[in-house]
Amino acid sequence: MKRLLALIATVAALALTAGAALAQALNAEGEVRRIDAANGKVTLKHGPIANLQLPAMTLVFKVTGPSMLNQIKAGDNVRFAADKINGQYTITAIQPK
């Protein structure tokens, strides 16, 4: 029984840590303007993105996985992480606010 409680506590701690890490990784905010699921792209009106040295603007991003587009829709306010991959601005994580 003690081992089970210790295991549950460990799993809960890992889940909280993973959640905090994801929240820190989602370092930009914006509004979804358009989704192009056929081409794996999303248009975001976003604030500054420090790691890409981008000012606030509207920009088309590729996504690392098409399933990412299933969790958002046009008009949603989102938090996201982006990087420049193979010369293209790419969303690596995104979630509605």
SS3 per-residue string spanning 65-82: CHHHHHHCCCCCEEEEEE
Confidence of residue 25 (pLDDT cuts 50, 70, 90): confident
pLDDT of residue 34: 98
Residue found under tokens 């306010």:
77
Distance from CA of residue 78 to its chain's centroid?
8
User: How would you label 24-34 residue by residue, b for 16+ Cβ within 10 Å and e otherwise?
Assistant: eebebbbbbbe
State pTM to two decimals.
Answer: 0.75
